[in-house]
Structure 1
């Protein structure tokens, strides 16, 4: 096991240890810049609108299903109309 860790340590230099997104300092700086420009707020707002739209579409779909069920079972209750008058 020690040979594999030695190989992995020697294969990478200090400058290559950075992640594809950059160093933690660069990521923090980019995050801070995005906060300053309001990108994060817009992203959250867009996500919220998308979630609200999805919930709205699901409610509409459920209401349509209920309406279809009521229409399909309406015949069961037609005889009650004469008694209610």
Structure 2
């Protein structure tokens, strides 16, 4: 079960690609595996996601929505916050 926010986020990410670059999340595309990298594919992820309990689905969806709310609330104020701090600990 996806919320309106997660659907909107997904659509925005899919539209982020353009004529000069591919969409960030191409549904039927896999990242080429380079030598020495671990093998992870969208297909494997989706099989795993489909097999977890509803409680885990709900938790993952809630976390994704929380991240979206945080990211949309940050806006450009993040730059002034980062500029005002001399190191990461101050943030």
Q: TM-score, normalised by structure 2?
A: 0.27
Which has more helix, going by share of residues?
A: 1
**Structure ranking higher on relative contact order (CA contacts 8 Å, 6+ apart):** 2
Q: TM-score, normalised by structure 1?
A: 0.28
Which has more radius of gyration? 1
